[in-house]
Amino acid sequence: MIQDVEAETARLVGAAAANDGLGGEALLDAANAAVELAAARQPAPASRTWLGLPWLTVECYIPCNSSVFAPPSAQRHPSLAGLDPFRRQKDAAWGKSAGAAADMAAEVQMLLRALHSPADHVRAADGQQGPHQQPTGGIDAASATAAARLAVLAGLRIALWGNKADLSLLAGAAGLEEHHLAAPPEVAAAVGASTAAADAADASTVAVPASHIIVDEGEAVWEAMASLRARRAASVGDRGDGDGNGDGDGVRVDIVLDNSGLELFADLCLADLLLEAGVADRVVLHGKAIPWFVSDTLRGDLEGLLGSCEASQPPGGQVPAAAWEPVRALAARWRRHLAPTSAGGTGAWSWAAHSFWTTPAPFAWMSELAPELYNDLSGSDLVIFKGDLNYRKLTHDCRWPHTTPFVESLQGFRPAPLVALRTLKADVAVGLAPGLDSALDAADADWLVDGKWGMVQAAL
Ligand SMILES: O=P(O)(O)OC[C@@]1(O)O[C@H](CO)[C@@H](O)[C@@H]1O
């Protein structure tokens, strides 16, 4: 069995080195279909080789093709089914993340307190109960909205920087308690810097944003979420429950996940804040069905993370148990969100793992290659794409001029309003203000790939 894995790996390395033809041999049909399309759409269709096809295609073909953990192979080798060859690396990385996770949890707890205190007043006045009730009275509506905005912007920021491996830019929670209904300085700075960059007509005056968020459409995303929140509140008022986009199942937000461990933790913080801020009734978490690019999130990673967060002792032995308590408190609620109502949970979070996510296909091809997934996403009120590879697939990994509008780079992909949260680790970037790329070149020669810069970019 191990020999099979080694032989398959050696065969792939040899095929790539020899620039053999690519396609037709993958274990996953979905990946083959994407390779077929990539080959057919090459300017010179004859170059269907490892070196002739686009980098996105061949790069993603390796993990599809070599995955002996994919269903057909797992049938041949049942003992491999469900095995994650990257388990040890994932666990080691999470062990080093406890401090950052505890900081995030402390910040989320403060945001939650800010969200709940005005709501509590209104609930008491209205005699309402329940975790996601909207304040319906007038007295606290403005402060509740302000708290929701703060929670959403902070959640976006946490999830964005969760995509940065070392998280050195993660803003702390200092000051949030005393200014709990005002945007913390780092949020205000991010918004202000981005606006200044976007407004700059003269490219020579463009400043690199101090926030390191080079495209920040967080405020626009908040506006879209505020509409969902208002619609939900009206629906709660009318019917006693949430009602979203006409599917009768409430407001739905989807998060297309990226890495497990700390990034997943950050994404769950965002998912939690969206529920608690009254933006969404439910969140669909899209993970991977097979081990993918080492650290991408599998269902087992979600379960493992929850178990670790629930433990009384934080992983890694570096963080005092007391500092872990906010993490445990979040995990207890997250466990309930993942449990169906029939099992005493809220059923607000669900897991999905379509095989399309582990193919080389850019998302512009989704409606052709995976129409059922496209249709499913069309039922969402907002889809949040996490990470660099998802961004490359959104933009088809093209050499777009940096000022290309994001919507143009999507090439028609728009199943629902969408937002990308991504730190830059590959050299595709669109939607920049004129001159910002030159300013970034001067500030940091590796700005496109060093993961120090981020984007909150939306097509709403
Ligand atoms: O998607 P992520 O985790 O943010 O980044 C993944 C990444 O590091 O690996 C991919 C493959 O090399 C690249 O697209 C990207 O730079």
Q: Which residues contact 273 (CB under 8 A, 6 or more apart)?
A: 108, 111, 112, 151, 152, 154, 155
pLDDT at residue 48 above 90? no
For residues 425 and 299, state if they share a domain.
yes
| Ligand 1 contact, 387 CB (< 6 A) | yes
Asked which of 64, 83, 102 is the last residue of a domain, the reply is 83
The reply to whether 131 and 275 lie within a common domain is yes
* One domain, residues 70 and 97: no
Query: How far is the C-alpha of 414 from the C-alpha of 342, rounded, in Å?
Result: 34
Higher pLDDT, 50 or 174: 50
Same domain, 324 and 376: yes
Q: How far apart are CA 247 and CA 241, in angstroms?
A: 13
In this structure, what CATH number is given to the domain that contains residue 206?
3.40.50.10880
Residues 116 and 208 in one domain: yes
Name the CA radius of gyration of the chain, rounded.
Answer: 22
Q: Ligand 1 centre from 389 Cα, in Å?
A: 5
Whether residue 122 sits in one domain with residue 32: no
Same domain? 39 vs 115: no
Contact 234, 164 (CB under 8 A): no
Q: Which of 425, 427, 446, 449 to mutate to test the pocket of ligand 1 (most atoms within 8 A of CB)?
A: 425
Statement to judge: residues 77 and 97 lie in one domain: no
Is residue 292 left, alpha or beta, with left meaning phi > 0 and alpha meaning psi from -120 to 50? beta
The ipTM (two decimal places) reads 0.96
Same domain? For 280 and 426 the reply is yes
Q: Give pLDDT tens digits for 163-222.
A: 985 433 344 333 333 322 334 444 444 333 343 344 444 555 788 998 999 999 999 999
Does the C-beta of 258 come closer than 6 Å to ligand 1? yes
Give the containing element (helix H, strand E) for 383.
strand 382-386
Mean pLDDT of 93-104: 92
Reference 112, options 286, 313, 334; nearest CA is: 334
Q: Tell whether 102 and 77 lie within a shared domain.
A: no
Quickly list DSSP for 224-243: HHHHHHHHHHHHHHHHSS--
Same domain flag for 34 and 160: no
pLDDT band at 65 (very low <50, low <70, confident <90, very high): low
The residue among 195 and 71 whose pLDDT is bigger is: 71
Look at the block and give the residue holding tokens 């069995």: 1
User: Which token pair is 297?
Assistant: 């999130």
Q: What is the pTM of this model?
A: 0.86
Domain count, the chain: 2
**Strand-pair partners of 255:** 285, 384
pLDDT computed for residue 72 by the predictor: 52
Determine the atom of ligand 1 nearest the C-alpha atom of 163: 4
Q: Which residues have CB under 8 Å from 342's CB, separation 6+?
A: none
* Cα 389 from Cα 445, distance rounded (Å): 21
What range defines the domain where residue 22 resides? 2-83
Task: Find the 55 Cα to ligand 1 centroid distance in Å.
Answer: 13
Asked if residue 156 and residue 23 are part of one domain, the reply reads: no
φ/ψ of residue 420, rounded to 5 = -110, 130
CB of 259 shorter than 6 A to ligand 1? yes
Q: Of the candidates 53, 83, 113, which is a domain's last residue?
A: 83
| Site of tokens 């669109």 | 430
Atom number in ligand 1 closest to CA 259: 3
Domain-ending residue, one of 41, 57, 83 = 83
Q: State pLDDT tens for residues 342-375.
A: 999 999 999 999 999 999 999 999 999 999 999 9
